[in-house]
Amino acid sequence: MVIIKDFGILLNISDHCVRVEETILNLKKETFDNDKDVKDIVCFNIFQIGELAKHLSKEFIDEFNEVPWDDIKGMRDIIGHGYGTIDWDRVWNTATIDVKPLHDYCERLTKELITSKKY
């Protein structure tokens, strides 16, 4: 059974995914590369996603392991500890390739958990 804390974390992860998706919507890589504010918004939200993932229970991660939780947590560390040396291509790829599937997964999972009353 998923604990309420994990369910709340999933909702928060979804919110940060939306913020990344909205920020990069219709954005070209060149614009991202040259806009410090956009970079800050994207990095902050990816950082938050990773930080939230660190607070998911071991039981949750063991049961719902369809996403690479360790990689998500690792991206938080890359952003948090290397801001002056961040690989912006990696951040862009995370934002444009990885965030949407994570968002979809969290949305699907929260709906399933509500329906099955497993939280």
Neighbour count for residue 51 (Cβ, 10 Å): 19
Predicted TM-score (pTM) of this structure = 0.92
Q: How far is CA 108 from CA 2, 11, 14, 99, 116, in A?
A: 15, 11, 10, 14, 12
Q: Chain-centre distance of CA 32, in angstroms?
A: 18
> How much of the chain, in percent, has pLDDT values that exceed 70?
96
| pLDDT tens-digit map of 59-74 | 999 999 999 999 999 9
The pLDDT-based confidence of 2 (bands split at 50, 70, 90) is: low
What is the residue-averaged pLDDT of the chain?
A: 93
| Cα gap 33→68, rounded to integer Å | 26
Domain ranges of the chain: 4-116
Predicted local distance difference test score (pLDDT) of residue 3: 81
Range with the lowest mean pLDDT among 29-38, 50-59, 77-86, 87-96? 77-86
